[in-house]
Amino acid sequence: MNKLFASTILILALIFATGCQNNPNRGRDIGILAGAVLGGIAGAQMGDGGDANVVAGAVIGGALGGLGGNQIDKRQEELQAAEAQRQYEYEQEVQAQEKLESEIKTLEEKRIRDEIARKATAADVTAAEREAARVEAELAAKKKAYEESQARALRIQEAQERIAKAQEELAELERQENGQY
């Protein structure tokens, strides 16, 4: 077997191997191909370089390459499983943290309510209700004033539009009277 043929086989094997990107047994397949090619080349270099040496080298190389590739595939699967497990554990930890923070917030709100309940008197309740009514009345007055100002602004805009339209009509009539039309 000549060296050009061996080089061609090696190049074709590497091209084929890189085309198997989504193959789950990619390591095994690449190992078999690379081992067979390299074993065939080694077999061609040994002894008389006959076909039997090339075939024997290719078979032995393919078998050894397949075994090595299987180990690579298994390790890759283990790494992917470990990463999936880490991701799952991280998500569980995030959920637990969010739940804990929510519980802390709820407890803090309850603590504040309880503290107010222990210290509040009837006069405090009356004062709080009076203040709430005052703020609500102030809000209602401001809302009413805002709505009235918006209504005035709208009326002014409408009046300005009417003025502009009337001025256009006057200008048109003046042009017609002067014969400029």
Please state the domain count of the chain: 2
pLDDT at position 21, please? 55
Cα(142)–Cα(159) distance, integer angstroms: 26
Which of 56, 89, 122 is the endpoint of a domain? 89
pLDDT at position 1, please? 47
Residue 171 lies in a domain: yes
CA nearest neighbour of 67 among 40, 28, 34: 28
80: tokens are 């992917």
Q: Are residues 11 and 62 in the same domain?
A: yes
Which mean pLDDT values do the consecutive 10-residue runs of the chain (181 residues) have? Answer: 55 58 72 80 75 79 84 89 94 96 95 88 91 96 96 96 96 86 53
Domain that holds residue 145: 132-175
Q: What is the pTM of this model?
A: 0.43
43: tokens are 């077999």
